[in-house]
Amino acid sequence: MSESSRPIGVAVLGMGNVGTEVVRILTENAADLRARIGAPLVLRGVAVRDASRAREGVDPALLTDDPHSLVARDDVDMVVELIGGIEPARALIKTALESGKSVVTANKALIAAHSGELAKAAEDNRVDLYFEAAVAGAIPVIRPLTQSLAGDSVNRVAGIVNGTTNYILSEMDETGAGYGKVLAEAGRLGYAEADPTADVEGYDAASKAAILASIAFHSRVTASDVYREGITKITSKDLEAAKKFDCTVKLLAICERIQTADGEKISARVYPALVPLEHPLATVNGAFNAVAVEAENAGRLMFYGQGAGGAPTASAVLGDLVMAARNRVYHGRGPLESTYASLPIASIDEVPTRYYVSMKVADKPGVLQQVAGEFAARDVSIAAVRQEGAGTDARLIVVTHRASDRAQSETVAALEQMDSVIKVSSVLRLEGTND
Ligand SMILES: NC(=O)C1=CN([C@@H]2O[C@H](COP(=O)(O)OP(=O)(O)OC[C@H]3O[C@@H](n4cnc5c(N)ncnc54)[C@H](O)[C@@H]3O)[C@@H](O)[C@H]2O)C=CC1
Ligand SMILES: N[C@@H](CC=O)C(=O)O
Ligand code: NA
């Protein structure tokens, strides 16, 4: 590729887990990047909280604690936002786009809440807004959905999209380690969000599900449209019990088109679910993520790789940066936001699901029949029942066939009222099966 353009000035905002790796790759791979783009990428500045603190491998003159002035500089053509959170990230990105600067971000919380406003600013100013790193880290999933599958019709996107919770669940399962210790380790390894509540309560996965659903179904879906449950209630007992049903527990994000009484809708939901051990998602461990896409003509596609961590995420950021830089050099543009379908969002009640219900029961005749009666009364058919323990430790575990989530949750509510059910100790959905 012959070099055809003046240097492209880059501003990096934030030098944490991801920003540090982005700056390193930009510096170390400068010659290759220049050859691939057809113009040199020149780092004009790095916004940090404390500019007086030296950073290894970074010219101190590049550090600033004033991201707004850095974004406004005439010699900055592209902005990489890696500070996270809503403000000031939103304002900085908007200013950059409105000044004709392309933006690359890994900020799923922001994109899932404000994609409409930001996509419009990019469109109005004919620049790119790229966010491949925002969903499933290093795994190419945004670009395949927006570009490679642009001629197909996607019906379902589902998988494991949060590295921290997957790391926690796999470590608890494999080593029996306690929740708190594993969560701290996920933070140390650079997987967790600045506030890990976003990970463990499922907010991060819900943001990613919103982004995936928006792109896959050409509709605007925000994080607040996504039904969400986190992993904080999962205990090592649940993981042990799952094994007895040849299952494991994974935090899943599921986005699909569903047919309801009112027509076609989008269901986007995040919850910990039992997954059969033979299902491909059951073998996705640690900070790895996997996203399965089902399209009308392509059939089933599976994307797998590192979903969290500084260097893997930086790889996706650099990919976007090279694409946006090439567009600048060759006067092209990436795909625009597509929301023409505007499908409505389904409530969790309308979604057909399977339930796993574990309850502590009175050890007396007729209890199993009474429990089964509550399921039958709501047309929920039972797939398997397991009785464990005896006396004060008698437990009943029921796995159901598919029925509306409303019927399933109403059954659980009724079980909780029964005299012979001492406590419903665990309720999980079961995914990855056809029945
Ligand atoms: N760590 C990971 O594995 C992944 C992170 N992401 C996203 O990438 C973004 C960055 O994540 P991390 O690097 O892990 O976070 P981090 O918390 O390690 O880094 C953020 C950095 O930005 C700095 N910062 C915050 N506000 C600032 C401001 N106003 N001016 C200058 N600097 C400021 C902080 O001091 C910190 O050093 C977030 O949006 C996150 O959700 C996306 C995919 C994976
Ligand atoms: N905290 C996130 C980071 C990547 O998106 C995760 O654990 O997946
Ligand atoms: Na990605």
- How high is the pLDDT of residue 30? 97
CATH superfamily entry for domain 351-430? ACT domain (3.30.70.260)
- Residue 43, amino acid: L
Which ligand ends up closest to the CA of 163?
Answer: 2
- How high is the pLDDT of residue 434? 79
Q: Which atom of ligand 1 is nearest to the CA of 309?
A: 3
Count Cβ atoms within 10 A of the Cβ of residue 218 and give its class: 0-12 exposed, 13-18 middle, 19 or more buried: middle
Q: What is the residue extent of each domain of the chain?
A: 8-138+311-329, 142-307, 351-430
Alpha carbon distance, N-terminus to C-terminus of the chain: 54
Which residue puts its alpha carbon closest to atom 3 of ligand 2? Answer: 308
Residues ≥6 apart with Cβ < 8 Å to 414? 374, 377, 378
Which ligand ends up closest to the CA of 167?
Answer: 2
Q: What is the pLDDT of residues 198-234, one digit of tens each?
A: 999 999 999 999 999 999 999 999 999 999 999 999 9
- How high is the pLDDT of residue 178? 86
Query: What is this structure's pTM?
Result: 0.96
**Topology at the third CATH level for domain 142-307:** Dihydrodipicolinate Reductase; domain 2 (3.30.360)
Q: Over the range 408-433, which residues count as b (16 or more CB within 10 Å of their CB) and which as e?
A: bbbbbebbeebebbeebebbbbbbbe
Low-confidence ranges of the chain (pLDDT < 50): 1
- How high is the pLDDT of residue 183? 95
Among 111, 132, 141, 162, name the best residue to mutate to test ligand 2's pocket (greatest count of ligand atoms within 8 A of Cβ).
Answer: 162
Among 12, 83, 306, name the best residue to mutate to test ligand 1's pocket (greatest count of ligand atoms within 8 A of Cβ).
Answer: 83
Contact 33, 314 (CB under 8 A): no
User: What's the gap in Å between 339 CA and the centre of ligand 3?
Assistant: 21
Which ligand ends up closest to the CA of 131?
Answer: 3
Inter-CA distances, 369 with 321, 372, 373, 375, Å: 62, 5, 6, 10
**Which CATH class for the 8-138+311-329 domain?**
alpha beta
- How high is the pLDDT of residue 3? 61
Q: What is the pLDDT of residues 297-347, one digit of tens each?
A: 999 999 999 999 999 999 999 999 999 999 999 999 998 899 999 999 999
Ligand 2: residues with CB < 6 A are 137, 162-164, 191-193, 199, 204, 307-308
User: What's the gap in Å between 57 CA and the centre of ligand 3?
Assistant: 26
DSSP H or E run through 370: helix 367-377
Based on its alpha-carbon atoms, the radius of gyration of the chain, rounded to whole angstroms, reads 24
Tell me 83's DSSP state.
S
Active site amino acids: 208
